Amino acid sequence: MSDIDVQLREWVTEACRHPPGSPARQRHLTKVIRVVSSKLWRESAAYYQDALQQTWVYFCKNICNGYDPNLGSVATWLNAYLKRRLQDFYIDLQKRRSSEVSAWQDRDGEAIDVIDGLADQRGDVEPIWEKVKAWAEADTTGELSRLHIEGYPQVTCQVLILRRLLSETSWKALSQEYGVPIPTLSSFYRRQCMPRLRKFGESEGYVNS
Q: Which of 63, 75, 180, 185 binds another protein (CB under 8 A)?
A: 185
Q: Which of 50, 64, 67, 139 binds another protein (CB under 8 A)?
A: 50
Our measurement of the distance from residue 67's CA atom to the centroid of its chain's CA atoms, rounded to an integer in Å, reads: 30
189 touches another protein (CB under 8 A)? yes
127 touches another protein (CB under 8 A)? yes
66 touches another protein (CB under 8 A)? no
Smallest distance, another protein to C-beta of residue 71, A: 23
Scanning 9-17, 31-39, 68-76, 107-115 for contacts with another protein by CB under 8 A, the matching segment is 31-39
Q: What share of the chain is helix, strand, coil (3-state, %, to 5)?
A: 70, 5, 25
72 touches another protein (CB under 8 A)? no
Scanning 10-18, 66-74, 97-105, 177-185 for contacts with another protein by CB under 8 A, the matching segment is 177-185
74/132 with CB nearer another protein: 132
Scanning 10-18, 46-54, 69-77, 141-149 for contacts with another protein by CB under 8 A, the matching segment is 46-54
145 touches another protein (CB under 8 A)? no
List, in sequence order, every residue forming a beta bridge with 148; answer none if it has no partner: 156
Phi, psi at 187, each rounded to 5°: -70, -40
SS3 of residue 30 by DSSP: helix
81 touches another protein (CB under 8 A)? no
E-strand spans in 103-172?
A: 148-149, 152-156
77 touches another protein (CB under 8 A)? no
Q: Which of 14, 16, 18, 37 binds another protein (CB under 8 A)?
A: 37
Q: At what angle do helices 3-16 and 23-36 cross, to 10 degrees?
A: 160
151 touches another protein (CB under 8 A)? no
Scanning 2-10, 62-70, 108-116, 183-191 for contacts with another protein by CB under 8 A, the matching segment is 183-191
Q: Using CB atoms within 10 A of its CB, is residue 108 exposed (0-12), middle (13-18) or buried (19+)?
A: exposed
> How many residues sit in the footprint of another protein (CB under 8 A)?
53
104: Cβ contacts below 8 Å, ≥ 6 apart: 110, 111, 112
137: Cβ contacts below 8 Å, ≥ 6 apart: 158, 162
Closest to 89 (Cα-Cα) out of 42, 37, 38, 46: 46
